[in-house]
Chains A and B, each alone.
Chain A
Amino acid sequence: MDIETFRDNLARHGAGPYAWPEPEREAGRALFGNSPEAREAAAEMEALSALFDEIKTAPPAPAPDALLARVMADAADVQAARDAPAAPPRAEPSRMGWLAFLRPLFIGAAPAALGLWLGYAVLGGDVAEAMGAAELAQNDGDIVVLDDTDQDELLAFAWPAAQEIWE
């Protein structure tokens, strides 16, 4: 094994030969025993590992006050947002929102539809329904209802002839 291969193994596997791959281990031991340069290289790698540990465990420099203040302000914001009462649920937007421009038309049409319905139901509708089952005949100016249903119900719809009214 030459010194460069030895250094490469040191860098890959560390200074302890037990961590080296088996095929490299014996050759590495042999070079370590025979070469001051190899021993120096191993000592350097050991020292480097110790420095890594020193850096890792050294207390870090204090963080800038401005950064600490920002971090604590973030914490306060998160706490405040969490403590805030839940906002009332927002109404879901209508899926027919694109028809909003037709709303005035609907507003105008509603009374008209109501009027039509009333006209049909109160005046024309019930009369026609009541009379629909009947057969109307006119006899000397009287409207006579000819039906086999109850005559009391139908009496209201037996209108007098115009001549009787004037008399």
Chain B
Amino acid sequence: MSFDGTGDESDEALLERFAAGDRLAARALTMRHTPRVLALATRMLRDGSEAEDVAQEAMMRLWRIAPDWRAGEAKLSTWLHRIAANLCIDRLRKRRDGGAKPEEAEAQADTSPTAAAMLIAGERAKAVSAAISALPERQRIAITLRHFEDYSNPDIAEALGLSVEAVESLLARARRTLASGFRDERRGAGS
């Protein structure tokens, strides 16, 4: 229950109120969606500063599209996360175009390996989040989109510019790595 009367209101209703000039609606949408968008961007980019920029840009696009939003055509959270995911993929491409190899980007990000894990409550989930964060870039993106953003394999293939078979292969390698790390962790805990 919120004191501003926006707690139970649907995203679409809030967006409509925002488009009509209601600032409380903007606040409610900000508080409701920015953390999850930030978590997605952090998981994909492994860079807190860049992730904040992406979250801000994604929300800005929401503000701009508000008057033209067609209720019922798309779920607002899905639309917002797709925007954020695409912004992240663009940034990762620019990193590569700028000469940074994915491995180098990962090595830099490894200086704060628990950034993504800190977003999640629960020790096991933290451990898996950290393991996802340590995956090679494409595997990490594929796993994030498939398991946390409900992308289909063809959707991932389109977003990353890969074949569906290549995406399946990325996902399989990532899952094997994660399962292996999970096995090692359990053995370590058991010994």
A7-B176, A67-B56, A68-B30 as given contacts; A48 in contact with B182, CB under 8 Å: yes
Cross-chain contact A11 with B63 (CB below 8 angstroms) = no
Q: By the criterion CB–CB under 8 Å, are A55 and B55 in contact?
A: no
Q: A8-B172, A41-B179, A78-B60 are in contact. Are A67 and B38 (CB under 8 A)?
A: yes
| Cβ-neighbour of B63 out of A48, A56, A61, A78 (below 8 A) | A78
Q: Is B142 located at the chain interface by the 8 A CB criterion?
A: no
Tell me whether A60 and B38 are in contact in the complex, defined as CB-CB below 8 angstroms, given that A11-B171, A71-B59 are known contacts.
yes
For A82, the chain B residues whose CB sits under 8 A away are: 21, 67
Tell me the count of chain A residues lying within 8 A, CB to CB, of chain B: 35
Q: B21 to A78, Cβ gap below 8 A?
A: no
* Contact A72 to B179, CB < 8 A, known contacts A51-B128, A54-B122: no
Chain A residues positioned under 8 Å from B182 (CB to CB): 44, 47-48, 51
| Chain B residue, CB-CB nearest to A9 | B172
What's the nearest-Cβ distance from chain A to residue B74, in Å? 20
Q: A62–B176 contact, CB under 8 A?
A: no
- For chain B, give the interface size range: 35 or more
> A71's contact among B39, B56, B66, B128, by CB below 8 Å, is which?
B56
Q: Given B21, B31, B38, B59, which contacts A74 in the complex, CB threshold below 8 Å?
A: B59
Q: 9 tightest A-B contacts by CB?
A: A75-B26, A11-B172, A52-B147, A60-B39, A78-B63, A11-B175, A60-B35, A12-B172, A11-B176
Write the residues of chain B forming the contact surface with A, with a CB cutoff of 8 angstroms.
Answer: 18, 21, 23, 26-27, 29-31, 34-36, 38-39, 52, 55-56, 59-60, 63-64, 66-67, 118-122, 124-125, 128-129, 147-148, 168, 171-173, 175-176, 178-179, 182-183
